[in-house]
Amino acid sequence: MSAVQGLRARLARTPMSIIVMGSLLIAFVVVAVFAPLLAPFDPSRQSLILRLRPPGSASPQGVTYLLGTDDLGRDLLSRVIYGARASMFVAVASVFVSLLIGSALGMLAGWRRGWVEIVIMRFVDVMLSIPAILLAVLAVAVAGPGFQTLILVLGLTRWPRYARVAYAQTLQVATLPYIRAAELAGASATRLLLRHVLPNIAGPLLVVATAEFGLMILFEAGLSFLGLGIQPPTPSWGTIMSAGRQYIERAWWLTVFPGGCLFLLVLSVNVLGDWVRDRLDPRARTRG
Amino acid sequence: MPRYLVSRLLQAILTTFGVMTIVFFVMRLSGDPVLLLVPEGATREHIDALRRELGFDQPIWRQYLTFLAGLLRFELGVSVVQRVPAWDILASRIPYTLALAGAALVVAIGLGVPAGVIMAVWRGRWFERPIAAIVVAGQSMPTFLTGILMIMLFAVTLRWLPSSGVDGPQSVIMPAIALGMLSMSTFARMARIAVVDELGKDYVRAGLARGLSPGKVVARHVLRNASIPVVTIAALEIGNLLAGAIIVETVFAWPGIGQLAIQAIQSRDFLVVQAIVLFVSLVYVVVNLAADLLYAGIDPRIRFGRS
């Protein structure tokens, strides 16, 4: 069977909703990556005579503002396209940071046991009892907003979930015969964890990561909406909607377009995440 | 039971202590906490005086002990902007947030649990899919988007409800729905999983075999057993609702602690922000403790299972 036939057979077995949501997610990734090529205007070029124009208005040069303009006369379509970039970048980077910290600490706790286990897992419990958005708000407010702070704060507040999963999985895997065998053969702890334990616990960690990815997108947008995330003039869906809140009676497009993109992106991530989880863990199935 | 109670209490105290420690260090992220507490444009002498007054010139371990000792006496500090204790400012806002979070919880449980039970009991029927779609959509809607869209529709276009602020009991409707949507999905999913789990158990088959009607088995036995994980989720969700209030209250100009947090950040009143984070985390710890004790009461396996 050729590769193309194999792919076709696979697609035929995949539910329609997954194909649609998968394509949607790919589209968002493409838009984010190629934002400079796709945006019809410079997203930060202001024009005070063209403020709050509705979708479809023409510019003096005859180019149409497909999604209208914002309160400073900037092209909304270009800003939404660049906003996809900010959203995806922050989410990917912060998921990466939290995945790294969480799985390292979780594996360490599950492997070393004793006081290391007690200290790390207690810390996880404590972190989980401070609502993440509040801790992030406090940390960003203290450290000052910005791209790097945002990624670090989100990454450093959302690692405990990975730690819990990595810990539980490592406990299970560590008792398996092949691990004991590798240990007897003289493999170092680092090698054992990275080469033998990690590949075996990667599936459940990936499931957590997909769920967290959707949450991170929502967190970034929420913090930016509150003025604590990505700072103007850098375009972000949250900041555009924050401006839209002020012009709620005059400019619906400032809320509907970035909000719609945000919803569709998170929806596609959540639907795909559920699907991945159902395939890896049939017990937690959400569809019958 | 007393042993479980004591160990669970100790755990809660330890967690509270850990929360205070984390907040203490986060407040020092910027390097010099005094700069967070002075109004903009303060003079050098003013800053130094405040540093001495608040003890920030002491070594860090002593500052930490002073901080903990203050919290044990329920002293959350004095707002540098308003010159009144941070707790007094916080306390005047708490009823609003509790009313909002309570109404949101009613929305979330009232819609989420029935949706989950329906999806579990009538699996595979035509109406399962649309309900499942609404649940996933609810989970993907940012609260501020739900909020602004509702304002556009019900306040600006139809003029049925006030767009923001507190103006009679109908003011809470839109904020409560916006805040409750996300939790609604969580309740629906959890209720569904719990009921599906229970339906597969032997006692269900035994009940049906003895001639009980399926409706009776579900109503009398399944829902009761499935309620235990749902109670846990309710406890976790109360914390999420209080934290989510920070965005919803900003959208609807609702005068609770969430709006206060943002106002305090904008006016650089960090002791008030710190007080809010400590308060919400403490509520979270207490509610979780209450939930654990509650279902230790419901389920004897938890009370006696551990040794």
CB A176 within 8 A of CB A149: no
Written as six digits, the tokens of B206 are: 């035994």
Q: Which residue of A has its CA nearest to B137?
A: A267
CB B280 within 8 A of CB B274: no
Whether B26 sits inside 8 A of A259 (CB atoms) is no
ipTM over 0.90: no
Structure letter (DSSP) for residue A75: B
- Minimal C-alpha gap between A245 and chain B (Å): 7
Task: Give the pLDDT of residue A288.
Answer: 37
A271 in contact with chain B, both atoms CB, cutoff 8 A: yes
How many Cβ atoms from other residues are within 10 Å of residue B263's Cβ?
A: 17
Q: Name residue, tokens 């805040």.
A: B179
List the Cα angle B267/B270/B273 in 5-degree steps: 100
Whether A130 sits inside 8 A of B284 (CB atoms) is yes
Q: Express as a percent the part of chain B with pLDDT over 70.
A: 96
- The answer to whether residue A244 sits within a structural domain is yes
B207-215 long-range CB contacts below 8 Å, 24 or more apart? none
Residues 218-247 (A) with a CB less than 8 A from some CB of B:
218, 221-222, 225-228, 241, 244-245
3 state SS of B15:
helix
Domain that holds residue A125: 79-287
Alpha-carbon distance A112 to A115, whole Å?
A: 8
Q: Is A246 left (phi over 0), alpha (psi -120 to 50) or beta?
A: alpha
Task: Give the pLDDT of residue A286.
Answer: 46
Alpha-carbon distance A283 to B191, whole Å?
A: 14
Task: Give the pLDDT of residue A195.
Answer: 85
- The answer to whether residue A264 sits within a structural domain is yes
Q: From the candidates A80, A138, A215, which should be mutated to test the interface with B, based on the most B CB atoms within 10 A? A: A138
3 state SS of A64:
strand
3 state SS of B221:
helix
- The answer to whether residue A9 sits within a structural domain is no
Confidence of residue B303 (pLDDT cuts 50, 70, 90): low
Q: Of residues B300 and B145, which shows the higher confidence score? A: B145
- Minimal C-alpha gap between B92 and chain A (Å): 20
Stretch B162-175: mean pLDDT = 83
- The answer to whether residue A37 sits within a structural domain is no
CB A69 within 8 A of CB A20: no
List of chain B residues whose C-beta atoms are within 8 Å of the C-beta of residue A287: 132
3 state SS of A40:
coil
Which regions in chain A score pLDDT beneath 50? 285-288
Task: Give the pLDDT of residue B6.
Answer: 86
CB A223 within 8 A of CB A140: yes
List of chain A residues whose C-beta atoms are within 8 Å of the C-beta of residue B192: 286
User: What one-letter code names the amino acid at A176?
Assistant: L
- The answer to whether residue A240 sits within a structural domain is yes
Whether B19 sits inside 8 A of A129 (CB atoms) is yes
**C-alpha distances out from residue A146 to A42, A153, A269, B259, B288, Å:** 21, 10, 25, 22, 34
Q: Which range is most confident: A253-262, B115-124, B125-134?
A: A253-262
A135 in contact with chain B, both atoms CB, cutoff 8 A: yes
A194 in contact with chain B, both atoms CB, cutoff 8 A: no
The b/e string for A114-124 (b: 16+ C-beta within 10 A; e otherwise) is eeebeebbebb
List of chain A residues whose C-beta atoms are within 8 Å of the C-beta of residue B21: 126
pTM: 0.87
The CATH number assigned to the domain holding A164 equals 1.10.3720.10
Task: Give the pLDDT of residue B304.
Answer: 63
- Minimal C-alpha gap between B169 and chain A (Å): 23
Q: Of residues A26 and B299, which shows the higher confidence score? A: A26
Q: Would the pLDDT of B199 be above 60?
A: yes
Alpha-carbon distance A115 to A100, whole Å?
A: 22
Whether A135 sits inside 8 A of B140 (CB atoms) is no
Going by C-alpha positions, the residue among B124, B116, B24 that lies closest to residue B67 is B24
List of chain B residues whose C-beta atoms are within 8 Å of the C-beta of residue A137: 246, 261, 265, 273
Task: Give the pLDDT of residue A1.
Answer: 57
CB A179 within 8 A of CB A192: yes
Q: Which helix (H) or strand (E) holds A57?
A: strand A57-58
Task: Give the pLDDT of residue A104.
Answer: 94
- The answer to whether residue A21 sits within a structural domain is no
Task: Give the pLDDT of residue B302.
Answer: 67
A129 in contact with chain B, both atoms CB, cutoff 8 A: yes
How many Cβ atoms from other residues are within 10 Å of residue B67's Cβ?
A: 19
Going by C-alpha positions, the residue among A237, A209, A263 that lies closest to residue B139 is A263
Q: Would the pLDDT of B294 be above 50?
A: yes
CB B235 within 8 A of CB B290: yes
List of chain A residues whose C-beta atoms are within 8 Å of the C-beta of residue B243: 131-134
Using alpha carbons only, how large is chain A's radius of gyration in Å? 23
Whether A241 sits inside 8 A of B132 (CB atoms) is no
Q: From the candidates A25, A128, A129, which should be mutated to test the interface with B, based on the most B CB atoms within 10 A? A: A129
Per-residue pLDDT of B237-258, as tens digits, reads 888 898 889 999 999 999 999 9
List of chain B residues whose C-beta atoms are within 8 Å of the C-beta of residue A128: none
Task: Give the pLDDT of residue A154.
Answer: 93
Q: Would the pLDDT of B15 be above 60?
A: yes
Q: What is the mean pLDDT of chain B?
A: 85
Q: Which residue of A has its CA nearest to B121?
A: A288
How many domains is chain A partitioned into structurally? 1
Q: Of residues B287 and A285, which shows the higher confidence score? A: B287
Task: Give the pLDDT of residue B307.
Answer: 37
Whether A142 sits inside 8 A of B270 (CB atoms) is yes
Per-residue pLDDT of B23-47, as tens digits, reads 888 887 766 777 777 766 778 888 8
3 state SS of A58:
strand
List the Cα angle A127/B188/B163 in 5-degree steps: 80
